[in-house]
A and B are shown apart, each in its own frame.
Chain A
Amino acid sequence: MPSGLLDRRLLFVTGKGGVGKTAIAAALGQLAASQGTRTLLCEVDAKGNLAGAFETGPTAFKEREIAPGLWAMSMDTEASLKEYLSLHLKVPLLSRLGPLARTFDFVANAAPGVKEILVVGKLCYEVRERHYDLVVVDAPASGHIVGQLAAPQAMRDLVQVGKVRDQTSWMLDILADPTQTGVVVVATPEEMPVTETLELTARLHDETVVDVAAVVVNRVLPELFTRSEEEVFRALRQPGPEAALAAAVGGPVGLVFDGAELAVKLRRTRAEHLATLREGLPPGVELLYVPELFQRTHGVRATRQIAESLGAELGF
Chain B
Amino acid sequence: MAPAARRAPATSLESLLAAKEIVICCGSGGVGKTTTAAAAAAMAAARLGGKVLVITVDPARRLANALGLERFGNVETQVPPEAFAAAGVEPRGELWAAMLDTKQSWDELVRAHAPDAATRDAILANPLYVNITGRFVQSHDYIAMERLYEIHASGRYDLIVVDTPPTRNAIDFLEAPDRMADFFSSRLLRWLTVPARSRVFTIASRPFYTAADRILGSQFLQDIAEFFLLFQTMYDGFVDRAKAVTRTLSDKRTTFVVVSTLEAAPVREAEFFIEALRDRRFPLGAVVLNKVLPSWFEDRKATTVARRLCADAKDLAAAVPVEADDAAVARVLGEVGESFLNFRVVATREAEQRAELAAGADVVATVPYADHDITDLAGLLELGASLWR
The residue in chain A whose Cβ has the minimal distance to the Cβ of B214 is A163
The residue in chain B whose Cβ has the minimal distance to the Cβ of A116 is B136
B296 touches A (CB below 8 Å): yes
In the complex where A144-B168, A248-B320 touch, is A16 in contact with B336 (Cβ < 8 A)?
A: no
Tell me which residues across on chain B come within 8 A of A255, comparing CB atoms.
296, 299, 301-302, 305, 340
Tell me which residues across on chain A come within 8 A of B319, comparing CB atoms.
244-245, 247-248
In the complex where A17-B30, A159-B220 touch, is A232 in contact with B328 (Cβ < 8 A)?
A: yes
In the complex where A18-B29, A103-B208, A154-B135 touch, is A241 in contact with B322 (Cβ < 8 A)?
A: yes
The residue in chain A whose Cβ has the minimal distance to the Cβ of B260 is A18
Q: How far is the CA of A97 from the CA of B214 in the complex (A)?
A: 13
0 or 1 for each of B310-348: is its CB under 8 Å from A? (1 = yes): 001001100111111000110111011101101111100
User: Are A96 and B207 in contact, with the CB atoms below 8 A?
Assistant: yes
Tell me which residues across on chain B come within 8 A of A17, comparing CB atoms.
28-31, 166, 265-266, 269
For residue B304, give the distance in angstroms from its CB to the closest CB of chain A.
6
Tell me which residues across on chain B come within 8 A of A97, comparing CB atoms.
207-208, 211
User: Are A269 and B371 in contact, with the CB atoms below 8 A?
Assistant: yes
Of A25-33, A122-130, A209-217, A222-230, the segment with at least 4 beta carbons within 8 Å of chain B is: A222-230
The residue in chain B whose Cβ has the minimal distance to the Cβ of A102 is B188
User: Are A141 and B214 in contact, with the CB atoms below 8 A?
Assistant: no
B112 touches A (CB below 8 Å): no
Tell me which residues across on chain B come within 8 A of A191, comparing CB atoms.
60, 62, 373
User: Are B188 and A224 in contact, with the CB atoms below 8 A?
Assistant: no
Tell me which residues across on chain A come within 8 A of B189, comparing CB atoms.
110
User: Are B29 and A98 in contact, with the CB atoms below 8 A?
Assistant: no
Tell me which residues across on chain B come within 8 A of A16, comparing CB atoms.
29-30
Q: Which of B127, B211, B264, B304 is the one whose CB lies under 8 Å from A251? A: B304
Chain B's interface: helix, strand, loop or mixed, by majority?
A: helix
Q: How far is the CA of A225 from the CA of B295 in the complex (A)?
A: 24
Q: How far is the CA of A143 from the CA of B333 in the complex (A)?
A: 44
User: Are A249 and B316 in contact, with the CB atoms below 8 A?
Assistant: yes
The residue in chain A whose Cβ has the minimal distance to the Cβ of B342 is A294
Tell me which residues across on chain B come within 8 A of A294, comparing CB atoms.
342-343, 345-346
A164 touches B (CB below 8 Å): yes
The residue in chain A whose Cβ has the minimal distance to the Cβ of B319 is A248
The residue in chain B whose Cβ has the minimal distance to the Cβ of A45 is B168
Tell me which residues across on chain B come within 8 A of A298, comparing CB atoms.
264-265
Q: How far is the CA of A50 from the CA of B103 in the complex (A)?
A: 34
A193 touches B (CB below 8 Å): yes
In the complex where A45-B168, A192-B60 touch, is A235 in contact with B346 (Cβ < 8 A)?
A: no
Interface residue ranges of A136-168 to B (CB < 8 Å): 140-144, 147, 150, 154, 157-165
Q: Which of B296, B329, B331 is the one whose CB lies under 8 Å from A258? A: B296
For residue B147, give the distance in angstroms from its CB to the closest CB of chain A.
18
Interface residue ranges of B202-234 to A (CB < 8 Å): 207-208, 211-220, 223-224, 228
Tell me which residues across on chain B come within 8 A of A314, comparing CB atoms.
none
In the complex where A140-B168, A241-B321, A249-B316 touch, is A112 in contact with B208 (Cβ < 8 A)?
A: no
Interface size on B, residues (CB 8 A): 86
User: Are B188 and A105 in contact, with the CB atoms below 8 A?
Assistant: yes
The residue in chain B whose Cβ has the minimal distance to the Cβ of A295 is B345
User: Are B188 and A112 in contact, with the CB atoms below 8 A?
Assistant: no
User: Are A233 and B336 in contact, with the CB atoms below 8 A?
Assistant: yes
B132 touches A (CB below 8 Å): yes
Tell me which residues across on chain B come within 8 A of A256, comparing CB atoms.
302, 305-306, 309, 336-337, 340
0 or 1 for each of A267-301: is its CB under 8 Å from B? (1 = yes): 00100000000000000000000000011011000
User: Are B214 and A106 in contact, with the CB atoms below 8 A?
Assistant: no
Interface residue ranges of B247-268 to A (CB < 8 Å): 261, 263-266, 268
Q: Which of A93, A112, A162 is the one whose CB lies under 8 Å from B213? A: A162
B297 touches A (CB below 8 Å): yes
Tell me which residues across on chain B come within 8 A of A169, comparing CB atoms.
none
A240 touches B (CB below 8 Å): yes
A312 touches B (CB below 8 Å): no
Q: How far is the CA of A112 from the CA of B329 in the complex (A)?
A: 64
Q: Which of A93, A147, A233, A240 is the one whose CB lies under 8 Å from B332? A: A233
Q: Which of A160, A238, A259 is the one whose CB lies under 8 Å from B340? A: A259
For residue A127, give the distance in angstroms from its CB to the closest CB of chain B.
21
For residue A254, give the distance in angstroms from its CB to the closest CB of chain B.
8
Tell me which residues across on chain A come within 8 A of B321, comparing CB atoms.
240-241, 244
In the complex where A45-B168, A256-B336 touch, is A147 in contact with B29 (Cβ < 8 A)?
A: no
For residue A9, give the distance in angstroms from its CB to the closest CB of chain B.
25
User: Are A164 and B215 in contact, with the CB atoms below 8 A?
Assistant: yes
A91 touches B (CB below 8 Å): no
User: Are B371 and A266 in contact, with the CB atoms below 8 A?
Assistant: yes
User: Are A236 and B329 in contact, with the CB atoms below 8 A?
Assistant: yes
The residue in chain B whose Cβ has the minimal distance to the Cβ of A81 is B215
0 or 1 for each of B288-300: is its CB under 8 Å from A? (1 = yes): 0000001011010
User: Are B305 and A253 in contact, with the CB atoms below 8 A?
Assistant: yes
A89 touches B (CB below 8 Å): yes
Among A49, A111, A235, A250, residue most surrounded by chain B Cβ atoms (within 10 Å) = A111
B201 touches A (CB below 8 Å): no
User: Are B305 and A160 in contact, with the CB atoms below 8 A?
Assistant: no
User: Are A18 and B31 in contact, with the CB atoms below 8 A?
Assistant: yes
A131 touches B (CB below 8 Å): no
The residue in chain B whose Cβ has the minimal distance to the Cβ of A207 is B135
Q: How far is the CA of A295 from the CA of B369 in the complex (A)?
A: 19
Interface residue ranges of B344-389 to A (CB < 8 Å): 344-346, 349, 369, 371-373
- Inter-chain pairs besides A93-B211, A96-B207, 10 sampled, C-beta below 8 Å: A96-B211, A150-B135, A159-B220, A235-B324, A249-B305, A251-B308, A256-B305, A258-B296, A259-B343, A263-B339
Give A contacts to B, CB under 8 Å.
16-20, 22, 45, 47, 49, 88-89, 93, 96-98, 102-103, 105-106, 109-113, 116, 140-144, 147, 150, 154, 157-165, 191-193, 195, 224-225, 228-229, 231-233, 235-236, 238, 240-241, 244-245, 247-253, 255-260, 262-263, 265-266, 269, 294-295, 297-298
Chosen A-B contacts, 7 in total, with CB atoms closer than 8 Å, are A110-B188, A113-B136, A158-B131, A192-B60, A259-B296, A260-B336, A297-B264
Give B contacts to A, CB under 8 Å.
28-31, 60, 62, 127-128, 131-132, 135-139, 165-166, 168-169, 183, 186, 188-189, 192, 207-208, 211-220, 223-224, 228, 261, 263-266, 268-269, 294, 296-297, 299, 301-302, 304-306, 308-309, 312, 315-316, 319-324, 328-329, 331-333, 335-337, 339-340, 342-346, 349, 369, 371-373
